[in-house]
Structure 1
Amino acid sequence: MGAALQGAVLGHPIGHSKSPAMHRSAYAELELDYSYGAVDLDVPGLAAFLDRVRADGNWYGLSVTMPLKTRAAELVDTLTPAARSLHSVNTVVATRTDDGGTHLLGDNTDVAGLVHALRHAGAPRLPRGAVLGGGGTAVSAVAALAGLGAPAVDIYVRNPAKATATLEVAQRLGVAATLVPFERAAAALAGYGIVISTLPPQAPDRLAAEIADSGMDTSGRCLLDVAYDPWPSALAAAWTQRGGTVVPGIEMLLYQGLEQVRLFAAAGGFADRAEERSAAVLNVMCDALGLRRRPPHE
C-alpha cells in the first residue's frame, strides 16, 4: 500500500484520550497500514490544521472531540445529512480527488455511539430525557434521545445563549426541548428515564455532591456520562449511590469509534474488509479499552 496513511484525534485537552489505542487495535486487526495519533488543538488552530491535512494528501481521516465539533462543521468541504442537521462534526473523512487534492467530508457518529451504548445497557424507555450541557456533544445527545423515542428533552445549561443551536436542532428533529437553569438539576434529575451528561471532566462535581447529599432515588433511571477520565466520575458515583444505573462514556467512545473505523477503512478502499471483520474489530477495540467483549449479535 505504500507509506502509511495518517489519522488522528483532535481536541483540547487530549492527553487522556483512549482513541489512539482503540483505533490502532482496529487497524492492526484489519491489517491496514494506518497510523493514528493525538493532536492537542484548540478552536483557533483548527482551520490551519485542516489546511495542512488537505496539503499533505496522505490522511484518511480525523476524530474530532471537544471543543472543536461545531467549528469543524464550518470548515470541512461538505457535510453528511446527519452532520448538517446537527451542525456538529466528530468525524472527518479524507479522500483524494481526481485532480490530486483532498476532500474533507464531515460526519457525526456520536448519535450512533450514544444510542448503541444506551441500548447495550438496557436503558429504560420513559417519556422524558435530560441533557446536561448545551455544547457540541449536547446536540448529538438530543438526537440520540429522540432516536430512543423521547418526545421531550430538558437541557440543563448555565448559559442559555450558548445553547441556542441545541434548541434549533431539537426543533428540526421534532423534539419538544426546553432550556432549564443548571442550578435546578439536582432536584429534578430523578424524574427522567435517561440523563446524558455532555459536560467535561470535573465540571459537574458540585452537582454530584448535591445529588449524593440529597434524598433522591434514581432507581430505574439511567445516566450516561460522556466524560470517562477519571472514572468513575463524581457524578457517576453519586448516581450509583442513589440507586441508579450508569453507562460510562467509554461505551459511547467504543460504538462511535466502530462507526469511524468503518468510514475510515472505506476511505482507503477497504469497506468490504471492515464489514467482514466487524465482530473481530469490535472485540479488539473492547480489549484496548478494557471493556467486556461483545457477543456476535451485538
Structure 2
Amino acid sequence: MTARFAAVLGTPIAHSLSPVLHRTAYAELGLTGWSYRAIECDEAGLAGFLAGLDGDWAGLSLTMPLKRVALDLADSVSDLAAGVGGANTLVLSGGRVHADNTDVHGVVTALREAGLAEPKSVLVLGGGATAASVLAALAELGLPAVTLAVRDPGRADPTRRVGERFGLDVRVLRLEEALTTVLDGGLVVSTLPGRAADPHAEAIARTGAALFDVVYAPWPTALARAVERAGGTVTGGFGMLLHQAVRQIELMTGRRDVPVAALRAAGERELARRARNGG
C-alpha cells in the first residue's frame, strides 16, 4: 500500500500510548510506509491543522480537549458520535472528514472482558466527555439506569441528556452524597482524570462495588488498590484504550484483522517500561 499518515492530537499529548498501539498494528499488518505520531494541538488549532492535511492522511485520533469541537469541523458525523456529543476519531478519505466515536466500543469490550458487563447498578464518577461515552456503552450493554456523581450537578445536564438520549434513566447526585451509596453487586466507573479520585478511594471501596477506572497510568491508582483491599473486582483503563484503538485502526486502514493480542502485549510492555522509569 502507498504511504499514509495518521496521528493522535490533543494537549497534553506526550504521554499518549496510541503511537505504540497503532505502529504495532501497522507492523503486524504489513502496512509498510504507514506512520503514526503524537502531535500537540488545542481546540483553537484543530481547524488549521485539518486544513493543512493532504490526501496522504488516513485519520486522526483525538483526545482531550478536541472531542467536542471535532464535531463542528467534520463533513459527516456518525450517529454514535452525534449522540454522545464527542468524536475521538476522524477518518480522512477523498478530501472529506468523517467523525466517529470508538470510545464506546472500548468501554463495552473492556467491561465484557473483565466480567463486569451485567452489574446490578452503576455509579459513574465525573460528567465529562468520557462519562458521556460510558453512558452510551452502558446503554448498549442493556443497563436501564445509572447514577451520575459530579461535583456540581448544575453542570451535568449535557451528560445527563446523553444518557437519556440512549434510553438510560439518569439520576444526578453530588459526589459526596453518592459515595454513601451501598452498591452490593454494583459497579463504580471512575472517569475522573489522573489522581482526582484518590481522596475518595476509601469511601468508594466501602460501597462494596466493583471498579472500572479509566486511568491506565500510573497503575494501580490509589482507588484501584483500595477497592482490591476491600475484595472488589478491579479493571483499569488500558482495556478501553486498547479496544478503542483497534476499532480506530479498522476505520482508518479498512482492515478487519487487527491483531489484538499483539497490540495488548506491546501496550503492556510500554506501560511496564514507563513504570520502571518512573514515567
Is TM more than 0.5 here?
Answer: yes
Deviation at 1:67, TM superposition (A): 2.1
**Structure-1 residue corresponding to 2:261:** 283
In the TM superposition, what is the alpha-carbon distance from 1:211 to its structure 2 partner?
A: 4.0
Q: Percent of pairs identical after alignment?
A: 45
Matches within 5 A, 1:1-298: 1-2=1-2, 4-32=3-31, 33-53=33-53, 56-96=54-94, 102-123=95-116, 125-188=118-181, 190-191=183-184, 193-211=186-204, 216=206, 218=208, 221-266=209-254, 274-275=255-256, 277-278=257-258, 281-290=259-268
Residue 217 of structure 1: how far off its partner (Å): 5.7
* Counterpart code for 1:264: M
Per-residue deviation, 1:209: 4.8
Q: Aligned equivalents of 2:242 and 2:179: distance in 1?
A: 29
Distance change >3 Å, CA 192–CA 153, structure 1 → 2: farther
CA deviation string 1:139-191 (max 9, x = no partner): 11001111222111111111334322211111211110011111224322645
Deviations along 1:18-71, one digit per CA (max 9) or x if unpaired, are 110011000111111211111122222222222223xx3321011111222111
- List structure 1 runs of 4+ shifted beyond 3 angstroms: 189-192, 209-212
| CA deviation after TM superposition for structure 1 residue 124, in Å | 5.5
Is the alpha carbon distance of 1:105 and 1:192 closer, same or farther for their aligned partners in structure 2, counting shifts above 3 Å?
A: farther
Unaligned stretches of 5+ residues in structure 2: 270-279
Matched residue pairs, number?
268
Are the equivalent residues in 2 in contact too, given 1:124–1:193 (CA < 8 A)?
Answer: no
Query: Structure 1 residues 6, 161: closer, same or farther in 2, change over 3 A?
Result: farther
CA distance in 1, matches of 2:96, 2:143: 36
Distance 1:35 1:66 in 2: 22
* Residue pair 2:117, 2:141 contacting (<8 A) in 1 also: no
Distance in structure 2 (CA, Å) of the matches to 1:236 and 1:52: 42
Q: 3-state SS of the aligned residue for 1:143?
A: helix
State whether residues 197 and 224 of structure 1, in contact with CA within 8 Å, keep that contact through their aligned partners in structure 2.
yes
Partners of 1:166 and 1:59 in 2: CA distance: 32
Normalising to structure 2: TM-score of the pair? 0.90
Change (3 A) 1:210 1:282: same
* 8 Å contact from structure 2 (residues 147, 173) kept in 1: yes
What one-letter code is carried by the residue in structure 2 that aligns with 1:118?
Answer: L
Kept after mapping to 2: 8 A contact 1:5/1:35: yes
User: Structure 1: which 5+ runs fail to align?
Assistant: 97-101, 267-273, 292-298
RMSD (Å) for aligned C-alpha atoms:
1.8
